[in-house]
Each structure stands twice: as structure tokens, then as C-alpha cells.
Amino acid sequence: MTDFDYDLFVIGAGSGGVRASRIAASHGARVAVAEEFRIGGTCVIRGCVPKKLLVYGSHFAHGLHDAAQYGWTIDGARFDWATLRDFVARDVDRLEKAYTSTLDSNKVEHFAERAVVAGPNAVRLASGREISAKVILIAVGAWPVMPEIDGAEHCITSNEVFHLPELPTRVVIQGAGYIALEFAGIFNALGSHVTVVNRSDRILRGYDEDLTDRLLPIMQARGIEFGFNRPIRKVEKRADGSLLVHAGGGDPIPADAVMVATGRKPKTDGLGLESAGVALGHNGAIPVNEFGQTSCPSIYAVGDVTDRVQLTPVAIREGHAFADTVFGANLRSVSYDHIPSAVFSQPPLAAVGLTEAQARAVHGQVKVFSSDFRPMQNMFSVVAERGYYKLVVDPLTDVVLGVHMIGPDAPEILQAAAIAVKAGLTKADFDATVALHPSMAEELVLMR
Ligand code: NDP
């Protein structure tokens, strides 16, 4: 028996919070979770999952075109945004139900309202009810940053983009990171005219420059315009309802929708953390130790709110490790080395380990192997785009330090390559592997 209402109270039912709840419950803890929006969090409700479905939906634009080369006659092909949007929304509903039933089947009680911290062992629900818990887990995620733009109220973010009443004819996207480039690809393929404007002259900062140097001209060749060193200053609504985007260093850009994708900030505003003495770090992030514990010993945090690596599988691991550590008597922390990542741009890119620049900074000398090839599936395609794979290798140990890929299905292939990098395999191990022919992935073992 404890004096608390629950052993664990989780604030936020996203990827990290749901995993932590169910694992803690499986260890015998009495668990409750509060969620102010929808169960599933960013990834399921307005992130990875609906975005990927839009990517799939938009791929048909090229697929239909290519099909003709293979002998298919496609008469009267048309695209209807509402059909795709509503299909995606239904799948999100399905997944939300699946997440909810996971909580139910693990006997995790859920409150469909906002909860804030009211002390080291207390939370307060929006309804006013106060609940005590031995441990509190903050898993509230992050929220799109809206830079201070005159006319910001006319802009949308990745929160709203899934619900557009119609497909915009002209879209301006601010930012050149993950979200900006993924949606640039989606809108472009679906037929919108897309202009990407960024504050710097870079895209996808952090990825190997050989990949980004390959991606940019391909996106441009597909018809996406880029404006670099052009932060948006003002978005003006015109009498006809359309928008005019004033971005530094160039003419105003007419648009029907303006999407801002300039990063995501931990959602800690108004969360009552000061009532428990939880220290906050840069950007409102909650600093934690290797087990997810904050400066208040009874309060932990996982996922995007800690602003370490803003990726769903990382949040899930953090939630799981927290639950095993605190309720399963099994001290576990997450390894942040060799986390694979991908950008579902068109074409997509994916990477694991060190970029060439990072490897040079750490190891001095590095060996680089690359393959620049035309994927077979592009042979008869309207898009004569070339793929590019690159291995970064430590010349002293022969260990593969990084794998970087751009081309069709790069994320699917990279996941398998990430196992090899995580395992510390050498270039000789790659070379000793017989190629699987004909495939794009075989390039990974054919670089000499
Ligand atoms: P990113 O950090 O990827 O990119 C932010 C972009 O906005 C950069 O181009 C940056 O410019 C620019 N920027 C940053 N701050 C400002 C500002 N104040 N004013 C103007 N421009 C600015 O953020 P996203 O919003 O695209 O994505 C957020 C996070 O979500 C990602 O970091 C990622 O972790 C996650 N995510 C992951 C996905 C995946 O795994 N496929 C998909 C979508 C999101 P610059 O760098 O040039 O200076």
C-alpha cells in the first residue's frame, strides 16, 4: 500500500508516454496518464504517420507517369486532395483507437484533459481535481516554433497542414529542415507550386553535405523553387484572400498557403514545473540524467520535451528505459550512438553514424567510399535522378563510421545498414558480403 493515488502519473500520451505507461503497468505499477489532445501524440496524430501516408499518396504522381513506360494506359487520372486527406484522417483515428486500447488492456487509467504539475508528487487536472503520484513522468513533447513574423496568424504549421480544406495552388514554406523538405516534396508531387525560403543558405543542416548537395538540384529540377538567406518578415493577406510573403532579399512571393517549419520547442510553458523545483534548460527543455530523472527526484521526463534527439523511436526507448529503471528494478539507459534517421523528401535520404565532416573532426583522417548510380527503377522514369551512397571509414581500424544514402527507398535500406554500423563492422565485412542483385542496396557492398 502507498499513500499516493497512483505509483506513476504520466503527462502526455504520445510515443514516450504511452510506452512508459504500459511498461510501468506491466511491472505492476498503478498508472494513470493525462492527455489534453488525442492519444498517440505528435507521431501518430500529426507527424510521422500521417506525413508518411501523404508521401505515399503523392508518389503516385510519378508512378502513374512511369506506368505508361511499362505499357499501362491510365485514362483520366486525377487527384483529389479531400480523398487523400480524409483517408489519412481515418487511419489516424484507427491508430488512436489502437493506442487507447493498449492503455486499456494494460489497465492504465487515462484522463482526457490537461494536467499540470502541482508539486513533487502532485498533478492538477484541468477540471481542478488534484491527484497524487509517487512518480510523475513528463512526456508532453514539443510544439512548432512560430518565428516573430508580422502576419503569423495567416501561416500554418505541421499541426494544421493535415486538415487543409483544399490543396493550395501556391505554397511557400519557411525553413529547410525535415518538415519543410518533406512537405515541399508532397505538395510539389500533388501539383502545388512550392517555394522554400530559408534564413540560411543550407538545407538539412546536420546531414552529410554530399547528400544535401545531391538533393537540392533534384528538388529544383522537380520544380521546387528555393530562396536562400530569405527569412520571412511579413505575410500579408490580400483582398482576394490570397497571401503575399515578404521575405528578405527578393520580391514578395504570392501564395495560397504559407507553412512555417522552423523547428519544434519543448512544450513546457505553463506546466507548473516550478512548483516542484524542476529546472529548465535552453529553449524550455527539461534537463535529465541518464535515467530521465529531472532536478526533482520524483519527476522524470522523456521524449521531445527533453530536446535531446527529437525522434519517435528515441522517445519510445527513453520511455521504456525509464519504466524498467523505476518500476522494473532494472537500471537501463538509452544509447544515443548510431541513431539512424531519414528525411522523407523526394527522393528520400537516410543516414547513420558520423558524416564525413564529423568523422574528420573526430578521427583526423578518414577514408570515403561512394557510389553514384542511376537506380534501375529510374531507368524508364521521367525522373532521371541518380542515387548516391557513401561510407565513411576509419582508416586505422577499418570500422565503418557512417553510412549516408540518397535514392529510392534509402530509409528502408539504411535501417539494415544501421545494424552493421551499430555492431562496429568493418569495410572488409561489407566487402565480404555477397551482393544481392539486382538491387540498389547492393551498392553498399560494391564500393571499392
Ligand atoms: P529542423 O530543425 O529540421 O529545421 C529547422 C529549419 O528552420 C532549418 O532550416 C533552420 O534554418 C530554420 N530555422 C530555425 N530557426 C529559425 C528561425 N528562428 N527563423 C527562421 N528559420 C529558422 O526543424 P523541423 O521543424 O523541420 O523539424 C523539427 C524536428 O522534428 C526535427 O528536428 C526532427 O527531429 C523532427 N522530425 C523528424 C522527421 C523524420 O524523422 N523524418 C520528420 C519531421 C520532423 P538553418 O538550419 O538553415 O539555420
Could you report the per-residue pLDDT of 147-172, keeping only the tens digit for each?
Answer: 999 999 999 999 999 999 999 999 99
**393 beta partners:** 367, 400
Report the DSSP pairing between strands 253-255 and 257-260.
unpaired
Report the DSSP pairing between strands 243-247 and 253-255.
antiparallel
Query: Which residue out of 264, 267, 308, 406 has the highest number of ligand 1 atoms within 8 Å of its CB and is therefore the one to mutate?
Result: 264
Calculate how far, in angstroms, residue 254's C-alpha sits from the geometric centre of ligand 1: 23
Q: Is 314 helix (H, G, I), strand (E, B) or coil?
A: helix
Query: Which residue out of 42, 162, 179, 196 has the highest number of ligand 1 atoms within 8 Å of its CB and is therefore the one to mutate?
Result: 179
Give the nearest ligand 1 atom to 200 CA: 47
Q: Tens digit of pLDDT for each residue in 285-315? A: 999 999 999 999 999 999 999 999 999 999 9
Q: CB of 176 closer than 6 A to ligand 1?
A: yes
Calculate how far, in angstroms, residue 176's C-alpha sits from the geometric centre of ligand 1: 7
Examine the pLDDT at 1 and tell me if it is beyond 70: no
pLDDT interval class at 406 (50, 70, 90): very high
Q: CB of 310 closer than 6 A to ligand 1?
A: yes
| CATH code 3.50.50.60 for 6-144+265-327 | yes
Q: Which of 200, 150, 190, 144 is nearest to 170 (CA)?
A: 190
Q: Which helix (H) or strand (E) holds 181?
A: helix 178-190
Q: CB of 311 closer than 6 A to ligand 1?
A: yes
Q: What percent of the chain has pLDDT over 90?
A: 96
Burial environment of residue 54 by CB neighbours within 10 A (0 to 12, 13 to 18, 19 or more): buried
Report the C-alpha gap between 28 and 445 in whole angstroms: 47
Q: CB of 283 closer than 6 A to ligand 1?
A: no
Calculate how far, in angstroms, residue 65's C-alpha sits from the geometric centre of ligand 1: 32
Calculate how far, in angstroms, residue 163's C-alpha sits from the geometric centre of ligand 1: 21
Q: Which helix (H) or strand (E) holds 8?
A: strand 6-11
In the chain, ranges of CATH 3.30.390.30 domains: 341-445
Calculate how far, in angstroms, residue 320's C-alpha sits from the geometric centre of ligand 1: 26
Q: Tens digit of pLDDT for each residue in 178-211? A: 999 999 999 999 999 999 999 999 999 999 999 9
Note the pTM of the prediction, 2 decimals: 0.97
Q: CB of 95 closer than 6 A to ligand 1?
A: no
Q: Is 260 helix (H, G, I), strand (E, B) or coil?
A: strand
Q: Tens digit of pLDDT for each residue in 91-109? A: 999 999 999 999 999 999 9
The contacts of residue 117 (CB under 8 Å, 6+ apart) are 11, 123, 124, 136, 138, 271, 272, 273, 275, 276, 278, 299
pLDDT interval class at 2 (50, 70, 90): confident
Q: List Cα–Cα distances, 411 to 352, 359, 425, in angstroms.
A: 10, 21, 20
Q: CB of 181 closer than 6 A to ligand 1?
A: no
For position 378, what pLDDT does the model report? Answer: 85
Report the C-alpha gap between 422 and 401 in whole angstroms: 9
Q: Which of 206, 220, 228, 444 is nearest to 343 (CA)?
A: 206
Amino acid at 90: R
Examine the pLDDT at 337 and tell me if it is beyond 80: yes
Pick among 3.50.50.60, 3.40.1280.10, 3.10.20.90, 3.40.50.261: CATH of 152-262: 3.50.50.60
Q: CB of 229 closer than 6 A to ligand 1?
A: no
Whole-number mean pLDDT of the chain? Answer: 97
| Active site annotation includes 437 | yes
Q: CB of 328 closer than 6 A to ligand 1?
A: no
Q: CB of 42 closer than 6 A to ligand 1?
A: no
pLDDT interval class at 116 (50, 70, 90): very high
Examine the pLDDT at 71 and tell me if it is beyond 60: yes
Catalytic pick from 110, 282, 363, 437? 437
Report the C-alpha gap between 353 and 344 in whole angstroms: 18
In the chain, ranges of CATH 3.50.50.60 domains: 6-144+265-327, 152-262
Q: Tens digit of pLDDT for each residue in 338-361? A: 999 999 999 999 999 999 999 999
Name which CATH class applies to 341-445: alpha beta
Calculate how far, in angstroms, residue 68's C-alpha sits from the geometric centre of ligand 1: 37
